[in-house]
């Protein structure tokens, strides 16, 4: 049998977190090996942000933008590698960027620049990258991790699992990290699709005709609310406001969608009745909504005929519904369409500074594999960079 090749650290998963971890370890002088089963590194980075990669958010170091069973866990890593640190790196590589809405930072050019930058930094750190490498087994027979692949076995005292979550399996996403976590005695919090379109059931079929219509809303679920665009799809609801709320949504929950955020719709309708009693409610709604949506809402609210024919109380009630339309989604579009996975390797078993497993010294979990999920808008990459950096500094 061939002698296994030895390294100081092996990183499995050449995505955002894995590349950041490998380049950090390499630039500290560690002999780092980066493995991935795909034929290219950074596949999800390439398709992110519509091809322009929303690489961070100016508020990306705020722990309350991340969902985790332990809301304090991410603070340490996020506090030590901040959005500005990544911006500095981007600028050092001459990559032009701009801020879109809500603090979201994008490349002016292409997400390919971010992947090229990370590859370049890996090269500076002497990282050895092996793509198209299937991991057959991992063991720790002698205090070091043995990573078996069909062609060779690699050995290192530090092993970092950066294989992400199962969202978008078509792109090579797997639940590999969870298998390894369980193998080494760590808990896994049930993974669920997040930042995902929601589907509507038979009761809301009327909205099918609105496929393609979008508008600014405030989506609410319990104490959480997001004011952004929503989009009607042929299966249900999407758009940033809905994707955001989907991370908090569980089967059976209803969400309230304020279709006129910042406007008292009851006052709008009753005021319109005084000012223009002969106008139809649908006309008033068409002044605020795309025509197709105004018509569906007027039908749903039974607002037919002139305004003067409607009692104030009925118009006020219709207004309340417009300010909090209740939807009970029948489900979500699942992992096939989810931008991220919520849940994953439980932070209970990880050290928050190094992301190392308390029960398995030398074994780290980073990025989306861990039960830390960011809001939409660059937060998930910021977690990937920050957790990758934290593990790379200690592995
Ligand atoms: C369409 C889309 C758009 C997105 N846009 C944004 C955005 O603009 N901004 C943002 O912040 N976030 C965005 N995200 C989320 C972001 O891409 C992820 O949060 C981030 O990529 C997670 O980084 P990661 O390194 O943990 O995992 P990944 O980037 O998923 O990397 C995991 C790597 O592990 C490899 N791997 C998996 N299983 C195995 C295995 N068994 N053996 C070997 N290798 C394996 C994969 O091939 C992959 O290269 C988007 C996601 C999607 C799907």
Q: What is the pLDDT of residues 100-129, one digit of tens each?
A: 999 999 999 999 999 999 999 999 999 999
Mutate to test the pocket of ligand 1, among 48, 83, 342, 345 (most ligand atoms within 8 A of CB): 48
- Tell me how far apart the alpha carbons of residues 29 and 21 are, in angstroms, rounded to a whole number: 13
Token pair recorded at residue 225 = 């609310």
Q: Which atom of ligand 1 is nearest to the CA of 338?
A: 53
Ligand 1 center to residue 18 CA distance, Å?
10
Provide the CA 85 distance to its chain's centre, in angstroms.
Answer: 21
Q: Which atom of ligand 1 is nearest to the CA of 369?
A: 26
Burial of 56 (0-12, 13-18, 19+ CB in 10 A): buried
Ligand 1 center to residue 171 CA distance, Å?
9
Ligand 1 center to residue 232 CA distance, Å?
26
Ligand 1 center to residue 164 CA distance, Å?
6
Ligand 1 center to residue 248 CA distance, Å?
20
Q: How confident is the model at residue 1, as a pLDDT?
A: 46
Tens-place pLDDT, residues 348-393: 999 999 999 999 999 999 999 999 999 999 999 999 999 999 999 9
Token pair recorded at residue 355 = 């992301």
Global pTM reads: 0.96
Residue 42: half-sphere exposure toward Cβ, Cα within 13 Å: 24
Tell me which residues of the chain have a pLDDT lower than 70.
Answer: 1-3, 205-206
Ligand 1 center to residue 369 CA distance, Å?
9
Residue nearest atom 41 in ligand 1 by C-alpha distance: 176
Ligand 1 center to residue 44 CA distance, Å?
5
Region class of 11: left (phi > 0), else alpha (psi between -120 and 50), else beta: beta
- Angle of the 83-92 helix axis to the 379-394 helix axis, nearest 10: 90
Q: Residues enclosing ligand 1, CB less than 6 A? A: 12-18, 36-38, 43-44, 47-49, 53-54, 135, 162-164, 167-168, 172-174, 176, 339-340, 367-369, 378-381, 384
Q: How confident is the model at residue 204, as a pLDDT?
A: 79
Residue nearest atom 44 in ligand 1 by C-alpha distance: 36
Residue nearest atom 42 in ligand 1 by C-alpha distance: 37
Question: Do 7 and 155 form a contact (C-beta atoms < 8 A)?
Answer: yes
- Tell me how far apart the alpha carbons of residues 138 and 360 are, in angstroms, rounded to a whole number: 13
Mutate to test the pocket of ligand 1, among 101, 114, 138, 163 (most ligand atoms within 8 A of CB): 163
């Amino acid at each position: 049998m061939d002698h296994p090749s030895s390294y100081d650290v092996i990183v499995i998963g050449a995505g955002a977190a894995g590349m950041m971890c490998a380049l950090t370890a390499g630039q500290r002088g560690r002999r780092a090996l980066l493995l991935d089963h795909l034929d290219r590194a950074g596949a999800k980075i390439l398709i992110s942000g519509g091809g322009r990669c929303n690489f961070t958010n100016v508020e990306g170091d705020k722990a309350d933008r991340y969902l985790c069973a332990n809301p304090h866990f991410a603070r340490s890593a996020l506090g030590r590698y901040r959005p500005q640190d990544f911006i500095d790196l981007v600028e050092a590589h001459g990559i032009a960027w701009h801020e879109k809405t809500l603090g979201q930072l994008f490349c002016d050019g292409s997400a390919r620049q971010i992947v090229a930058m990370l590859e370049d930094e890996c090269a500076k750190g002497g990282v050895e990258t092996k793509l198209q490498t299937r991991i057959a087994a991992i063991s720790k027979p002698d205090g070091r991790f043995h990573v078996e692949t069909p062609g060779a076995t690699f050995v290192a005292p530090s092993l970092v699992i950066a294989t992400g979550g199962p969202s978008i399996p078509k792109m090579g996403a797997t639940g590999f990290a969870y298998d390894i976590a369980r193998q080494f005695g760590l808990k896994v919090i049930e993974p669920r699709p997040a930042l995902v379109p929601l589907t509507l059931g038979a009761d809301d079929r009327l909205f099918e005709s609105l496929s393609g219509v979008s508008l600014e809303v405030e989506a609410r679920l319990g104490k959480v609310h997001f004011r952004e665009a929503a989009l009607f799809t042929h299966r249900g609801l999407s758009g940033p406001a809905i994707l955001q709320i989907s991370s908090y949504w569980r089967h059976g929950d209803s969400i309230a969608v304020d279709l006129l955020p910042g406007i008292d719709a009851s006052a709008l309708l009753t005021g319109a009745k005084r000012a223009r009693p002969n106008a139809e409610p649908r006309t008033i709604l068409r002044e605020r909504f795309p025509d197709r949506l105004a018509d569906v809402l007027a039908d749903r609210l039974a607002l037919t005929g002139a305004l003067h024919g409607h009692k104030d109380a009925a118009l006020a009630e219709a207004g309340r519904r417009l300010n909090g339309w209740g939807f009970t989604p029948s489900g979500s579009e699942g992992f096939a369409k989810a931008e991220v996975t919520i849940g994953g390797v439980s932070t209970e078993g990880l050290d928050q500074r190094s992301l190392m497993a308390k029960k398995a010294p030398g074994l780290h979990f980073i990025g989306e594999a861990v039960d830390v999920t960011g809001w939409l808008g660059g937060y998930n990459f910021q977690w990937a960079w920050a957790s990758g950096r934290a593990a790379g500094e200690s592995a």
